[in-house]
Structure 1
Amino acid sequence: MFKFSEISDMCIKCGKCIPGCTIHRVNPDEATSPRGFLDILKGVEEGEIEIDKNFKDTVESCFLCNQCVEVCPNSLPTDFMIENARAKVAEKFGIAWYKRAFFFLLKHRWAYDLVSKLGFYFQTCGFKIEEEKKAIRSRFSLPMLHKGRLLPAFRKTSFLKKYPEKIPAKNPQKRVAIFIGCMANYNYTEVGDALVKILKFLDIDIFIPKKQACCGAPAYFTGDFKTTEELIKRNIEYFETFIDEVDAILVPEATCTAMLKKDYEEYIKYHMDYEWLKRHEKVKAKIFGTTEWLYKYTDLEKRLNKKLNSSVTYHDACHFGKVFNIRKEPRALISKVVEVKEMEDPNVCCGFGGITMQTEKFDLARKEGLIKAEMIKKVDAEYVSAECSACRMQITEHLDKVGDNKIFVHPLEIIAKAIED
């Protein structure tokens, strides 16, 4: 078991983490800076600081964007420290009922399917759809609901129910599995549609594992380690049943990719038996973000030779850019299709921050979301893109707040549009 103090003592207090820190940008307080977090966690371990409401408020104020981890000279896992601190908070104060209800859905696909189906049929009864959003829906299948906030609607049919488990290619050179992610499964199904279209274009065998569970990121970032561990075991055990039969497991979501590769490894290392670490190692080797794999392991870039009369600005989702340094790959692919216009700082976090940030601390998410939206608004482009549904939800909402009519599209949607045309 790790000790907070061991990692905290490795912090040299250089301050390199502070200029780019998301929470420090919107709430400049040393206590919620990365080095401040580390000192507080050490104080809790040594009995100098109590796990009280103030401590809870502090550790729940981090966006977990990984900016501090990326720039730290000692590569200190501040995000992992905070996730474990949140688990201690959850042990003492419990988890809000609505979060527990949501995590129940994440663990039980049948229940989430039911809620999704009911949500599709009843969502317009509880929310007013803005007229200007109807135009977006007709053009890009992006229905957004309005009740003070813009939220993604449920689709009539989820991605996992839309397609058969196996979609064979005529002369396949490769076979891949798709791990779709919850939001792309229930809310942004066009992402999965685009990926299927691209893989068909490349003549790649497609396997859609129907028993895949949520990656567990919402529960993990909230401190619900019981749910997290259950989902880790379930996914690894399921991946093992087909891992030798595929060349890759493709994930069109930055957060899911980071959770499946990086966060599983960190969690298992300190909280589970060594056997699980070895089992995870095997499946981790075949897990890839979609544009990374398409760029590195196919000839898609060479085959994209049709330019659309459109322009896009690209946002680096934290769990791709900061965690894996996946920045070049999506740009290389979409630049073959549309003109890419860079914003001032594509690396700045959009401010989604997880379920707690989107509920109890939405004032912080809003502040960061508006900073990002104003940055995007300055760019003369029709679209904004990122490989993350959480970014999609956050950016779409805040572009609306700043009066910018750019439309959010996943990089796969851009590529699929070029293939389609």
Structure 2
Amino acid sequence: MFAFNVTSDACVKCGKCIPVCTIHQVNPDETTSPRGFLHLLGAYQKGKLELDRTAKKIFESCFLCTNCVDVCPNSLKVDMVIEQARYDIAQKYGIAWYKRLAFFLLRNRGIMDILARFGYVFQTCGFKLHPEKRSMSLRDFPIVKLDRLLPSLAKKSFLNSHPEVIINGGKGKVGVFIGCLANYMYTDIGKALLEILKALEIDVYLIKQQKCCGAPSYFTGDFASVDALGKFNIEYIESFKETLEAIIIPEATCSAMIKEDYVHFFHDQPEWKARAEAIRPMIYMATDYLEKKTNLKDLLARKAKRSEVVTYHDPCHARKMQGVWKEPRALIAQNFVMREMSDPNRCCGFGGVTMQLENYRFAKAAGEPKATMINATGAKVVSAECSACRMQLGDALYHAKSDVVFKNPIELIASALREENVKSTNVL
């Protein structure tokens, strides 16, 4: 299964990866560091290490933030080899029933739609809702007694709330891949994106048969789900190649999965790897497309300048994997006061399904310093083009008793477009 021959011999032991490693920052042990992972992975590839439960625990502690890859002089793909090792772990030990249930629902959107509607009705039974943050906190839930903030379910999913094709004037045609969290929970992101595209007079295709990108399954080792979801989405996107100029995605993880990880995942299936590579030019993060391919910046420049301070967090799957970080800032800065935190590139600590469900103590520890950085800026809003970051940072700010709210940059941009046009002399 290994696409990369990464061994401990390939590591030059420079140590650049240690200070940026998210798990090492909260669990300073050489074993749970990039060098430790590499040593163990090399031994495993050579058949000198058995994947026992201790090794399982170690490999599942990585946040897959790619910080180590970003600074490595040899660009060693530690994260990808860990993902492949997790597949072998899943084959040997299986995947917990609650994860298998979640992945089943993500593969079957019709069933998920029904359960989400029921969940919306009954979520108040065990949770305290925070409407202004589109979140809810556990009260004293009978099964999981844990004080944390979670995204609340919307009354109706985004995809089921709008027609499949929205004609706005024909100045362009784009498809929207919305992502599961934005579809079922943070639905204001999709609504805001439709507002922006209407203002730009760009026609929208919601490509409603889209399925989960497969990232949760990929990071957990459920490669059978990734294979099915990846092939479906590739084939589905191919069907729009002659109709649409681009598929835009307001979610860093979904975009990175489709644009980057599909190619790596299908490394041993040449036909599907080639097809994954062929659709890459169509895939854009939403702010990347809007900043580079439209006149949105000019439209925003004619709107009111606000005194509201915003700080921006760089999702790992945006800046490091796709090189998208200047674009959202350039758009937000047209109408808001931007103030950078001390380390906007530091991982928020979401880390995936296993980290959130089984290693939450690590996720919580990784989120604490990020919340401190956000509060130190004095900003009232923290923004990032990633709903996984939103979920993690929302929880971190909740524990820090902070009043800072999270907004996707798409939501901020749409709110700015609603302002009346102003003359330059009135801009603060």
TM-score range, shorter chain: over 0.9
Spell out, residue by residue over 1:63-109, the C-alpha distance to the aligned partner (whole angstroms, 9 max, x if none).
00011111111111111000001001001100000000000001000
1:385 to 378, 383, 386: 383
Q: Indicate conservation of the 8 Å contact 1:191/1:413, yes or no.
A: yes
| CA displacement, residues 31-71 of structure 1 (integer Å, 9 cap, x when unaligned) | 11112111101111222211100000000000000111111
In structure 1, the partner of 2:103 is 103
The residue number in structure 2 matching 1:168 is 167
Q: CA deviation at 1:3?
A: 6.4
The residue that corresponds to 1:53 in the other structure is: 53
Q: What is the letter of the counterpart of residue 166 of structure 2?
A: I
Q: State the secondary structure of the residue aligned to 1:304.
A: helix
* CA contact 1:7–1:76 (8 Å) conserved in 2: no
Return the offset for 1:5.
4.7
Indicate whether 1:326 and 2:340 are aligned: no
- Structure 2 residue runs without a partner (length 5+): 140-146, 420-428
Question: Is the Cα contact below 8 Å between 1:24 and 1:33 reproduced in 2?
Answer: yes
> 1:297 maps to what in 2?
293
Residues matched between the structures, number: 410
Change beyond 3 A, Cα 1:6–1:367: closer
Equivalent runs, 1:244-263 vs 2, <5 Å: 244-263=242-261
- Gaps of at least 5 residues in structure 1 are none
- CA deviations on 1:345-401 (whole Å, 9 max, x unpaired) are 000110000000001000000000111111111111110000000110111111011
Among candidates 190, 197, 217, match of residue 215 of structure 2:
217
Partner of 1:280: 276
Q: Which residue of 1 aligns with 2:312?
A: 314
Counterpart residue number, 1:146: 138
Partner SS, residue 359 of structure 1: helix
Deviation (angstroms), 1:309: 2.9
Q: What amino acid sits opposite 1:298 in the alignment?
A: T
Amino acid at match of 1:290: A
**Which residue of the partner structure matches residue 195 of structure 2?**
197
2:37 & 2:351 partners in 1: Cα distance?
A: 16
Distance 2:156 2:88 in 1: 38
Query: What's the CA shift string for 1:195-253, capped at 9, x where partnerless?
Result: 11000100001000010000000000000001110101111111111122111100000
Matching residue of 1:361: 359
- Tell me the equivalent position of 1:125: 125
Which stretch of structure 1 is more off in the superposition, 3-12 or 24-33?
Answer: 3-12
Give, in whole Å, the separation in 2 of the partners of 1:186 and 1:8. 42
In structure 2, do the counterparts of structure 1 residues 326 and 7 end up closer, same or farther at CA, with 3 Å as the change threshold?
A: farther
- Aligned mates of 2:402, 2:107 — CA distance in 1: 37
1:166 is displaced (CA, Å) by 0.3
Deviation of 1:296 after TM superposition, in Å, equals: 0.7
Residues 401-416 of structure 1 mapped to structure 2, 5 A cutoff: 401-416=399-414
Matching residue's letter, 2:179 = G
8 A contact 2:87–2:221 mirrored in 1? yes
Any idea what SS the aligned residue of 1:151 has? Answer: strand
Classify 1:149/1:6 alpha carbon distance in 2 versus 1 (closer, same or farther; 3 Å): closer
Q: For residue 266 of structure 1, report the CA deviation from its aligned partner.
A: 0.5
Q: Following the alignment from structure 1 to structure 2, what is the Cα–Cα distance between the partners of residues 384 and 63?
A: 21
Report the TM-score, using the length of structure 1 for normalisation.
Answer: 0.95
Residues 218-233 of structure 1: pairs in structure 2 closer than 5 A: 218-233=216-231
1:4–1:38 Cα contact (<8 Å) kept:
no
- Aligned equivalents of 2:2 and 2:219: distance in 1? 18
C-alpha RMSD over aligned residues: 1.3
- Look up the match of 1:399: 397
Percent identity among equivalent residues?
A: 51
* Deviation at residue 412 of structure 1 after TM alignment: 0.6
Question: Which residue number in structure 2 is paired with residue 66 of structure 1?
Answer: 66
Return the alpha-carbon distance in structure 1 between the equivalents of residues 26 and 157 of structure 2: 36
Distance 2:4 2:280 in 1: 27
1:157 paired with 2:156, answer yes
Structure 1 window deviating more from structure 2 (3-12 vs 287-296): it is 3-12
Q: Which residue of 2 aligns with 1:80?
A: 80
